[in-house]
Amino acid sequence: MAGIEQHDIAIIGDGPVGLTCSILLSLRGIDNVVFERYPDTSIHPKACGINQRTTEIFRIIGIEDEVYEHCAPPEIAGRTACYTSLGAEGREIVSRDAWGGGIYAEEYERLSSSRYCILPQIRLEPILRRIAVALNLDGVRYATEVRDLEQFEDHVKLTVRSRDEDYSVKARSFIAADGGRPFTTKLGVSWLGERNIFDMVFAQFRSPLRSLHPDPRNFITWSTNPKMGGSTKTGYLYQIGPWPLQPGEEEWVFACGVTEHDPERFDQQTMIDRLRRTLNIADLPVELRSFSHWNVNAISRIISRR
């Protein structure tokens, strides 16, 4: 295969898994290349909870303290509660410690000297990317989609598209860090369970909600209202920083089920109205940053024999 770009390991996807794999390989002197189809790291907060095994790995790659500097402060990160709403009539139904907070603190401390922490992917990935690129200047490629993959006895061949042009890359092996998308299936991993259980919509927004919240220690705030589908369908909120918090910069995520009282597809105004209705704060200041629809699935991966 003369003329074809060659690497030891090709990594598909620059999420937390792909970038961490790249850093770990680079630290061990193993040649690798990462392909990410989007032009930059995630614009959606996505995963927030980082467990202790992961922060232990972050210690190995030298970013543990930087992650703690930017993660949710302990007084926010260890509690969740459910309310009828946050408005004048609203009341708390239940609250509890969680994620290593309160009654769980001693147990978590016993298990590891690294901490459970909360930092959304939008803020974690740039830290990982900086280290990955510093260790592998030409090897972390954005706006580059892996279009096809062929597996041979001793190598794989990837067809990669960048700036409307396809090129081939040969690697000894590959890591499908594509978030469970098609290349995971190439490894013989498939999904078992129920799909599309119900439709959800999610919004990322800026709002001074902490000052209106009856207990802003809660990282996740659930609302439940039988007239809005109850439980998850009514909606839930969580805080996403940026930490340390500066005045006017407070960001949140709100997600709710699409019920028979909602339009099938939301626009900006329906999204804001639904948020205000769930929280029962009619004049809540909201600066919507992004929103999107998604489906609830109850599926797990199964590995089949090949």
Ligand X SMILES: Cc1cc2nc3c(=O)[nH]c(=O)nc-3n(C[C@H](O)[C@H](O)[C@H](O)COP(=O)(O)OP(=O)(O)OC[C@H]3O[C@@H](n4cnc5c(N)ncnc54)[C@H](O)[C@@H]3O)c2cc1C
Q: What minimum distance in Å lies between the beta carbon of 44 and ligand X? A: 7
Which of residues 124 and 272 has its CB atom nearest to ligand X in the complex? 124
CB 242 within 8 A of CB 227: no
Cβ distance to ligand X smaller for residue 53 or 265 = 53
User: In what side-by-side order are the strands of the sheet with 32-35?
Assistant: 140-141, 32-35, 5-12, 165-176, 156-162, 144-151
| Minimum CB–partner distance for residue 72 and ligand X (Å) | 12
E-assigned strands of 120-272? 140-141, 144-151, 156-162, 165-176, 189-206, 220-223, 236-239, 251-257
Q: How far is the CB of 48 from ligand X (least distance, A)?
A: 4
Tell me the backbone φ, ψ of residue 203, rounded to 5 degrees: -130, 140
Closest-CA residue to 256 (of 239, 283, 238): 238
Residue among 84 and 168 whose Cβ is closer to ligand X: 168
Alpha-carbon distances, residue 33 vs 38, 229, 233, 238 (angstroms): 15, 46, 41, 35
Q: Beta 287-303 vs 220-223: how paired, if at all?
A: unpaired
**Which residues are at the interface with ligand X (CB under 6 A)?**
12-18, 35-38, 46-49, 121, 145-146, 177-179, 181, 202
Q: Which of 83, 254 has the CB closer to ligand X?
A: 254
Least distance to ligand X from the beta carbon of 247, Å? 26
Minimal distance in Å, beta carbon 91 to ligand X?
27
Residue 95: CB minimum distance to ligand X, A: 19
What's the token pair of residue 111?
Answer: 């298990």
User: Do 97 and 103 meet the contact criterion of CB atoms below 8 Å apart?
Assistant: yes
Cα–Cα dist 169/139, whole Å: 12
CA torsion 92-97-102-105 (nearest 10°) is: -170
Smallest distance from ligand X to CB 36, Å: 5
Smaller CB separation from ligand X, 16 or 257: 16
Question: Quick one: 14 or 251, whose CB is closer to ligand X?
Answer: 14
DSSP 37: S
Residue 14 or 250 with smaller CB distance to ligand X: 14
Q: Which of 26, 44, 29 is nearest to 133 (CA)?
A: 26
